[in-house]
């Protein structure tokens, strides 16, 4: 039985994931952390029968009281690094679904992981389709000199660009020496050409009606290749989450990107 503390249990993703975890015979939620609905039975939060486990707002306290096998984090970019530091300092493994972590953060996380012997999987996206899009985009970038990314998310998403877009750009940059902005280009409205990561323009759309979607547009003389993935429901993430939780005990150190451990 894998004992899980779920951070961000009261959010939309946390609730959806929590209900899915309950259905797995070899998973057990032993604690829930959130700043909302503190003291509420997590069964009520998940629209299930009361479970006798209550929402707490202090992660370290919950970890010490429950001694879980793994922390599953779906909080927000403002607190995720703090949560990672707390869980690793307590020598507990973690699977991080919260976006906001980049390759620049990985060395610090690796240092903490080595000190305490705890492992961590950081996954900007758990959708297998999204992971394939990243892989295909990185491969296509070997043959197309110019790339732009457009990512679309619901209007409640706090960070931009998305972790998926950042990870996609990082993978592309390993295969493509992106051109710099053409000489003489200027923006009539600042930001009109999107953000810039290593020469790749990234555009973020935040509107009600979207969940999680991404286009990678690659151009060369006389042709354009467009790759797109759409997550239409949160169920699209469940396979990847289950996979990461089942893998966490067999890996060592830090894995940044679920694609690195897919069979």
**H or E element, residue 214:** strand 212-220
Which residue among 49, 56, 116, 153 is the active-site one? 153
Q: How far is CA 181 from CA 161, 178, 204, in A?
A: 19, 9, 19
Reply yes or no on whether 153 is catalytic: yes
CA dihedral 32, 5, 258, 14 (to 10 degrees): -10
User: Prior bond to 149 cis, omega within 30?
Assistant: no
Cα 113 from Cα 119, distance rounded (Å): 6
Q: How far is CA 172 from CA 110, 142, 166, 250, in A?
A: 23, 8, 10, 28
Reply yes or no on whether 157 is catalytic: yes
How many residues can be counted in the chain?
263
Which residue among 157, 167, 201, 229 is the active-site one? 157
Q: How far is CA 155 from CA 101, 109, 170, 195, 211, in A?
A: 20, 30, 25, 18, 9
Cα 63 from Cα 160, distance rounded (Å): 30
DSSP code per residue over 17-56: HHHHHHT-TTEEEEEEE-SSSTT-BHHHHTTS---S-BEE
Q: Which residues pair with 122 in a beta bridge?
A: 96, 256
Active site residues: 153, 157
């Amino acid at each position: 039985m894998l004992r899980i503390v779920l951070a961000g249990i009261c959010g939309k993703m946390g609730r959806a994931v929590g209900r899915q975890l309950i259905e797995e015979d070899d998973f057990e939620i032993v604690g829930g952390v959130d700043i909302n609905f503190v003291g509420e039975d997590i069964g009520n939060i998940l629209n299930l029968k009361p479970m006798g486990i209550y929402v707490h707002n202090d992660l370290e306290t919950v970890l010490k009281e429950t001694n879980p096998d793994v922390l599953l984090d779906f909080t927000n970019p403002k607190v995720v690094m703090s949560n990672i530091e707390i869980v690793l300092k307590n020598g507990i493994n973690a699977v991080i679904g919260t976006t906001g972590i980049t390759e620049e953060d990985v060395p610090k996380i690796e240092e903490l992981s080595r000190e305490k012997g705890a492992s961590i999987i950081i996954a900007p996206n758990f959708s297998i389709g999204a992971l394939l899009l990243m892989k295909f985009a990185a491969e296509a970038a070997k043959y197309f000199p110019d790339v732009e990314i457009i990512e679309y998310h619901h209007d409640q998403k706090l960070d931009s660009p998305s972790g998926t877009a950042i990870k996609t750009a990082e993978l592309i940059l390993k295969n493509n020496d992106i051109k710099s902005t053409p000489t003489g280009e200027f923006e009539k409205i600042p930001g009109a050409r999107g953000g810039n990561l290593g020469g790749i323009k990234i555009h973020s759309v935040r509107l009600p009606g979207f969940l999680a979607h991404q286009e990678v547009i690659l151009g060369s003389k006389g042709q354009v290749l467009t790759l797109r993935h759409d997550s239409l429901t949160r169920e699209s993430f469940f396979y990847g989450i289950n996979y990461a939780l089942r893998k966490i005990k067999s890996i060592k150190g830090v894995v940044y990107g679920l694609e690195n451990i897919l069979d």
